[in-house]
Amino acid sequence: MILDHTSAALLTTFQSGTALTALLPGTTSIYDMQAQDNDTLPYIIFSHMGGGPDNIAPVNLENNLWQVRAFGTSAKNATEIFEQADLLLNRKAISISGYNTFWCNRETNIKLVENLPNNVKIYTAGGIYRIRTSE
């Protein structure tokens, strides 16, 4: 399924980004959908937001939105991590097994702070990407 293939492609893309992984504890700090419970900062999470087939042509065209968020100990830390992730995705033809990627653009920016019950703040920076593919 396109979502599984895109998840694998995003993971591979992020793990191969040496400037990105240099800002993280390693490639195991990159997650699909959700980080592990009580994981230490910083890390990256990516997840499918919505979309699906375009159904406008006889070929299989997919139009999906993916959220990418960097979580850090400060706003600056999260932003620096996200900037490296963005360099790997925005306006790039990422390689998705079995599909031709003809569009991968950031459409929305995200910058948030989350307050945990123990008064610790987690800063996030990220974006939502539209990834369009054909089979």
What pTM did the predictor assign?
0.94
Q: What are the residue boundaries of the structural domains of the chain, listed by start?
A: 2-134
What local confidence, expressed as pLDDT, does residue 10 receive?
Answer: 98
Choosing among 3.30.460.20, 3.40.50.1820, 3.40.50.960, 3.30.2000.30, the CATH entry for 2-134 is 3.30.2000.30
Encode pLDDT of 41-79 as tens digits: 999 999 999 999 998 888 899 999 999 999 999 999 999
Give the largest CA-CA distance in the chain.
Answer: 54
Mapped onto helix, strand or coil, the DSSP state of residue 133 is strand
CA angle at 112 for the pair 110 and 118, rounded to the nearest 5°: 155
